[in-house]
Amino acid sequence: MYAGAAHADTNEYGACIALWNHALKLKMAKETLLSCDTAFTARAIVQLYVNIVVRQNNGANDNEQPQIKFEDVLATAKYLKSGVAVALDLLTIKPKFKVITKESRNP
């Protein structure tokens, strides 16, 4: 995440997006979107997309090349879609708790 942020700070958004998409892919393979770290990565890359679009619309130079590639957004969307599906499945699980009474502790 740090290397991607360094690229974003120097307006090298392509490199940042590539690194963060790779990080998201690796985290999604090990964890779910319900994990704080994975959710942070997903939020960061989506926020980066929003910031780039807002920056382009506010001070748009018509000769400037778009800094977001469709393929990158599609890759992010695919990771998030698969992550949401898994997270929704996990959220439907209803754990059953055993009630512990004083009598059940001392048989």
Contact 35, 87 (CB under 8 A): no
Give the global pTM: 0.76
* Domain span including residue 58: 2-105
C-alpha–C-alpha distance, residues 27 and 24, integer Å: 5
The count of domains in the chain is: 1
| pLDDT recorded at residue 9 | 84
Sign of CA dihedral 63, 11, 40, 1: positive
Instruction: List, as one string, the DSSP characters of 61-105.
Output: -TTSPPSS-HHHHHHHHHHHHHHHHHHHHHHT-----PPP-HHHH
pLDDT digits (tens, 9 = 90+) for 26-58: 999 999 989 999 999 999 999 999 999 888 888
